[in-house]
Amino acid sequence: MNNNMKRMFFCLMAMMGVLTLSAQDVCDFKSNPVLSNIMARRSVRKYLDKPVEHEKLEIVALAGINAPSARNWQNWAVRIVEDQELMADVKGMCRNAPNLICVCAPASGNFDLDAGLLGENMMLAAQSLGLGTCIQTGPVRFLTTDEKAKAFRDKLDIPADYKLLYIIAIGYPDEQPEAKPRDASKVKYIVR
């Protein structure tokens, strides 16, 4: 293991709280904007009543579509809801977020992982812009099957051979959730 890999290992272990303070000294993750952003992101469930500016939503979308995908096929469809009248129909089930990102993938299910990577990129980009996010799958069934959501569904214009996988509530946070404990014991290192 070279020095850079050792340093990254110690940084990650320190961030997970597995190593002692001396290991944390090896990596000041607050000075690394990528690691700091990852460690700061939380699921936000309370939002200010303030829609996100279109320009910020464009940045979030651009970060999303720059996620890796199998063979660079980019088999996803993203719908970002800015229409506040349309949002009023679903706002209660979406944590009262002022905006939604709907992430779709081929109905075959072969590209769900790619769509997940896209979503993580978008959530991290949102965090870096001072926005909060919360990924949700609960409302998907209602949005895709209930007659009350037909107008919403029609506006999304999802390709016929695609399915809505999940939504991301996005907006300016009205809370600062604490980090939940992480179970570092789930990580095993296979060494010689």
Q: Are the CB atoms for 123 and 41 separated by under 8 Å?
A: yes
The reply to whether CATH 3.40.109.10 applies to domain 54-171 is yes
Q: In what order do the strands lie in the sheet with 77-81?
A: 77-81, 99-106, 162-171, 132-136
Radius of gyration from C-alpha coordinates of the chain: 19
- CB hemisphere CA count around 177 (13 angstroms): 16
Global confidence as pTM: 0.84
Q: What is the predicted pLDDT for the residue at 31?
A: 86
How far is C-alpha 29 from the chain's CA centre?
20
Q: Are the CB atoms for 70 and 79 separated by under 8 Å?
A: no
For the segment 85-124, what is each residue's pLDDT rounded down to a tens digit? 999 888 888 889 999 999 999 999 999 999 999 999 999 9
For the segment 14-72, what is each residue's pLDDT rounded down to a tens digit? 555 544 444 445 567 788 899 899 999 999 999 999 999 999 999 999 999 999 999 99
Q: What is the predicted pLDDT for the residue at 25?
A: 56
Closest CA to 47 of 103, 101, 94: 94
Is residue 3 pLDDT above 80, yes or no?
no
Q: How many Cβ atoms are within 10 Å of 36's Cβ, its own excluded?
A: 16
| Domain boundaries along the sequence of the chain | 3-40, 54-171
Distance in angstroms (rounded) separating the CA atoms of residues 64 and 60: 6
